[in-house]
Each structure stands twice: as C-alpha cells, then as structure tokens.
C-alpha cells in the first residue's frame, strides 16, 4: 500500500507539543514512523526515547504501531486503534496530566543533564529560555532547517 509520508529530509516532524487525542509526542512519532516507512526519515529516529515515553504510558508495542502505519491509516484511525489496543487505557484527565508533565519535563539524571547542556550549547548557546526537552527539540528542528537560534 502506498502511504503518505512526510519527507523529514526537507522539513521537521510536528512539534512534540502537538496533540492527538490529548497526547503530546504522538503526532511527532507518527510523522517519524511514516517517514521511516517511506524512506525519508533523514536524521530522525522512530522508537527513540521520546517515543518510548508515549509507548510506555499507553502500553503499546512500537512494531505493532508501525504495522498500522504501514496500512496507510490516518491519524484519526491510529488514535482509534490506540484506544482499542492500549494495555494501559487512560482517562482524558490522565492523558492531560501526563501531557502537561511531558511538556515541562527536563533532564532528570546526570547523563541526561550533561547531554541536554551540550545540545543547548551547540544549538542555541545564547538562548536562556530553554528549560524542557520540548524546548530543545523545537529549537533543534528550527535550526536544522535553516532557522537562527
């Protein structure tokens, strides 16, 4: 089946802040999964640690999700599949709380803080407004495609 896949060598995936069914991270993961299947993933990764935050919360297998994407399913169809397949069904309030936490989450251990600090210096050393992983990812996407930090 021919699936519509974004070309992530020409533009970034959706921001991790974009929500689908209340979930942050999910639309970005879907973009990267479709790009992987379409051969246009570029420097991005599917089932990366960010994706694993979502997969663990919902209780989903990344390969099963990728198989659904390979069927050409839309975002809405994928969300319906998630609702049926999630090992950890969540209420709207639980999803909202988890998403709010993810939006503000920063590095939580020494190795992560060191990596975050190095990436911050590389991408936007003069940017004092970065505090979360989402801030760093959004800026990295912007800079990677020609924007100025």
11 and 79 belong to one structural domain: yes
pLDDT tens for 57-90 read: 999 999 999 999 999 999 999 999 999 999 999 9
pLDDT of the residue at 2: 62
How far apart are the C-alpha atoms of 94 and 108, rounded to whole Å?
A: 21
**Does 21 share its domain with 44?**
yes
Q: Are 91 and 132 within one domain?
A: no
Looking at 17-21, 58-62, 145-149, which range is the least confident one? Answer: 145-149
Domain carrying residue 51? 1-104
DSSP 30-92: HHHHHHHHHT--TT--SS-HHHHHHHHHHT--HHHHHHHHHTT--HHHHHHHHHHH-SS---H
- The pTM of this model reads 0.94
Q: Are residues 117 and 127 in the same domain?
A: yes
CB 47 within 8 A of CB 64: no
pLDDT in tens, 102-112: 999 999 888 88
pLDDT tens column, 27-42: 999 999 999 999 999 9
């Amino acid at each position: 089946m021919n699936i519509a896949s974004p070309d992530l060598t020409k533009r970034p995936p959706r921001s991790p802040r974009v929500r689908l069914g209340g979930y942050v991270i999910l639309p970005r993961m879907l973009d990267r999964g479709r790009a992987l299947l379409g051969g246009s993933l570029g420097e991005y990764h599917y089932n990366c640690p960010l994706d694993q935050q979502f997969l663990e919360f919902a209780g989903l297998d990344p390969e099963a999700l990728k198989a659904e994407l390979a069927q050409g399913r839309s975002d809405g169809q994928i969300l319906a599949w998630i609702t049926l397949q999630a090992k950890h069904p969540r209420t709207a309030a639980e999803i909202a709380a988890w998403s709010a936490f993810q939006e503000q989450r920063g590095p939580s251990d020494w190795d992560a803080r060191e990596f975050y600090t190095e990436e911050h210096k590389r991408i936007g050393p003069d940017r004092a407004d970065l505090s979360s992983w989402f801030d760093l990812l959004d800026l990295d996407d912007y800079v990677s495609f020609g924007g100025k930090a």
